[in-house]
């Protein structure tokens, strides 16, 4: 089974366990543990396979991001206090980044200067809705990462020799 099928299967077993009687829950728990162990074994085999650079294509930036997110979320559920700490830390970091950006902004920019308009918008967002600002900054960081990865992908593609195309004779 593929990773997405394994994940869906595990989620379905977890939902079933919540509504099942205690005796059935133990059986489902054993089945869930076997499924998770099997998916971990298959993931280990995939990771241990030697990668042939010539025969396989490199992952796209989106595939790399999805792979990173999947590996980060497989660690297991966090404690509620850890989740609250992460959210608070994320909010404080986003607010601090906006404060620093506003301070570094151009001093004598006109009212329609795009840089100043963005900085004002971020400042208002920080004041009105810190949670929305945190989510917005997270999305912006993701887009920036994708853009940088795409740039690296273009650089590596540019280093290869271009394919020569010949004229078609009629």
pLDDT one-digit tens code per residue, 105-132: 888 888 788 888 988 899 899 899 888 9
pLDDT one-digit tens code per residue, 33-92: 887 777 666 555 544 444 444 445 677 888 888 888 777 767 666 788 888 898 888 888
pLDDT one-digit tens code per residue, 91-100: 888 889 888 9
- Looking at the structure, tell me whether residues 40 and 101 fall in a common domain: no
In the chain, how many domains are there? 2
Q: Confirm whether 112 is domain-assigned.
A: yes
Per-residue pLDDT, 1: 54
Per-residue pLDDT, 128: 92
Q: Confirm whether 163 is domain-assigned.
A: no
**pTM attached to this predicted model:** 0.42
Q: Confirm whether 150 is domain-assigned.
A: yes
Instruction: Check pLDDT > 60 for residue 20.
Output: yes
The tokens 């009105």 sit on which residue? Answer: 128
pLDDT one-digit tens code per residue, 146-170: 999 888 888 877 766 655 666 666 6
Q: What is the mean pLDDT of the chain?
A: 78
Per-residue pLDDT, 50: 42
Q: Confirm whether 69 is domain-assigned.
A: no
Q: Confirm whether 152 is domain-assigned.
A: yes
CA of residue 22 relative to chain centroid, distance: 36
Q: Confirm whether 104 is domain-assigned.
A: yes
The per-residue DSSP string of 23-61 comes to HHHHHHHHHHHHHHHHHHHHHHHHHHSPP-TTTSPPPPH
Give the percent of the chain with pLDDT over 70. 75
Q: Confirm whether 67 is domain-assigned.
A: no
How far apart are the C-alpha atoms of 70 and 82, rounded to whole Å? 19
- Looking at the structure, tell me whether residues 147 and 96 fall in a common domain: yes
Q: Confirm whether 148 is domain-assigned.
A: yes
Question: How many CB atoms lie under 10 A from the CB of residue 137?
Answer: 20
- Looking at the structure, tell me whether residues 88 and 148 fall in a common domain: yes
- Looking at the structure, tell me whether residues 91 and 150 fall in a common domain: yes
Per-residue pLDDT, 48: 45
- Determine the structural domain holding residue 4 and report its residue range: 1-44
- Looking at the structure, tell me whether residues 35 and 93 fall in a common domain: no
Per-residue pLDDT, 62: 81
How far apart are the C-alpha atoms of 123 and 120, rounded to whole Å? 5
């Amino acid at each position: 089974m593929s990773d997405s099928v394994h994940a869906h299967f595990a989620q379905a077993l977890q939902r079933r366990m919540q509504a099942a009687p205690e005796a059935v829950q133990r059986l489902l728990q054993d089945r869930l543990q076997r499924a998770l162990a099997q998916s971990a074994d298959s993931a280990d085999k995939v990771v241990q396979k030697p990668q042939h650079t010539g025969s396989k294509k490199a992952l796209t930036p989106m595939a790399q991001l999805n792979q990173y997110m999947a590996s980060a979320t497989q660690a297991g559920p966090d404690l509620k206090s850890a989740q609250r700490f992460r959210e608070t830390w994320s909010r404080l970091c986003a607010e601090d980044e906006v404060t620093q950006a506003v301070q570094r902004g151009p001093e004598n920019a006109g009212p329609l200067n795009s840089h100043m308009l963005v900085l004002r918008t971020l400042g208002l967002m920080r004041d009105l809705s810190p949670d929305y600002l945190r989510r917005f900054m997270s999305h912006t960081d993701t887009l920036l990462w994708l853009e940088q990865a795409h740039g690296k992908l273009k650089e590596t593609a540019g280093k290869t020799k271009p394919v020569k195309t010949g004229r078609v004779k009629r």
